[in-house]
Amino acid sequence: NAGVTQTPKFRILKIGQSMTLQCTQDMNHNYMYWYRQDPGMGLKLIYYSVGAGITDKGEVPNGYNVSRSTTEDFPLRLELAAPSQTSVYFCASSPQGPPYEQYFGPGTRLTVT
Amino acid sequence: RKEVEQDPGPFNVPEGATVAFNCTYSNSASQSFFWYRQDCRKEPKLLMSVYSSGNEDGRFTAQLNRASQYISLLIRDSKLSDSATYLCVVNRGTGAGSYQLTFGKGTKLSVIP
């Protein structure tokens, strides 16, 4: 099992550009999540999904969009990138049942200049 | 009161020492509790779930005090490989909150030869 995989590992964007961060899991987890982590800060939830076709906003959704067409994939779209979106982005998944422990991908380091 | 509060450290301890980390949480409805470790520039990885009765995994012991809303992690016989940031994690309560996690900012541990 690969677990949770993310691409790309690193990316530099110019202000105003758009991109999609890819996330795939092979654990057949229904629940998936996107977080961002800024230096010295805790992880902040951007969006989450409880199954294919179902997504909802987390704490910091502004500037992002998601879709969930399959159980395996949960891409995160950045539209009109801004320097405030410079961060490390982690995708995670969890089983459908308590205690809902989450398993993380290796992250994408994004710089917007 | 912050949702999840931890002493950021750093804790610098010699190899073989015993070290304890504490964490407090503000949401009395939280029902799931975890410790994750995060190595520098890596993703968080689940270290252990924390149960009301306390639980042990090798050199690691976790305790939960629901009345005081307090979680602890004890590491015995510290190894160099234990050097990492330890994240205290709790869920947001019931319903949709049951599978959404709040992450502390972490406590940094450095084990010194």
Q: pLDDT (tens digit, 9 = 90+) per residue, A51-100?
A: 999 999 999 999 999 999 999 999 999 999 999 999 999 999 999 888 88
Rounded Cα–Cα distance for residues B79 and A88 (Å): 28
Q: At residue B95, does pLDDT exceed 90? A: no
Q: Do B4 and A106 touch (CB under 8 A)?
A: no
Q: Do B102 and A90 touch (CB under 8 A)?
A: no
- Quick one: DSSP state of residue B106? -
Of A22, A40, A58, A112, which is closest to residue B9 (Cα–Cα)? A40
Give just the sign of the alpha carbon dihedral A41, B41, B49, B59.
negative
Q: Do B105 and A103 touch (CB under 8 A)?
A: no
Q: Do A107 and B105 touch (CB under 8 A)?
A: no
**CB nearest to A100's CB, from B87, B98, B104:** B98
Interface size, chain A vs chain B, as Cβ–Cβ contacts under 8 Å:
52
Percent of chain A at pLDDT > 90 equals 89
What is the predicted pLDDT for the residue at B53? 86
A32, A43, A90: which to substitute to probe chain B, counting the most B Cβ within 10 Å?
A43
- Quick one: DSSP state of residue A94? E
Retrieve residue A50's tokens. 């409880």
**Chain-wide mean pLDDT for chain B?**
94
Q: What region, left, alpha or beta, does residue A80 occupy, with left being phi > 0 and alpha being psi -120 to 50 degrees? A: left
Given pLDDT bands bounded at 50, 70 and 90, which one contains residue B72? Answer: very high
CB contacts, 8 Å: A41 with chain B: 105
Of A108, A102, A51, which is closest to residue B45 (Cα–Cα)? A102
- For residues B55-66, give the mean pLDDT: 96
Q: Do A42 and B105 touch (CB under 8 A)?
A: yes
B43, B46, B103: which to substitute to probe chain A, counting the most A Cβ within 10 Å?
B43
What is the predicted pLDDT for the residue at B49? 93
What is the predicted pLDDT for the residue at A15? 97
In single-letter form, the type of residue at position A64 comes to Y
Contacts 24+ apart (CB under 8 A), B95-99: B96/A56, B97/B29, B98/A98, B98/A100, B98/B31, B98/B32, B99/A31, B99/A48, B99/A50, B99/A94, B99/A100
Whether B49 has its CB under 8 Å from any CB of chain A: the answer is: yes
> A64 CB contacts (<8 Å, ≥6 apart)?
A34, A46, A47, A76, A77, A78, A79
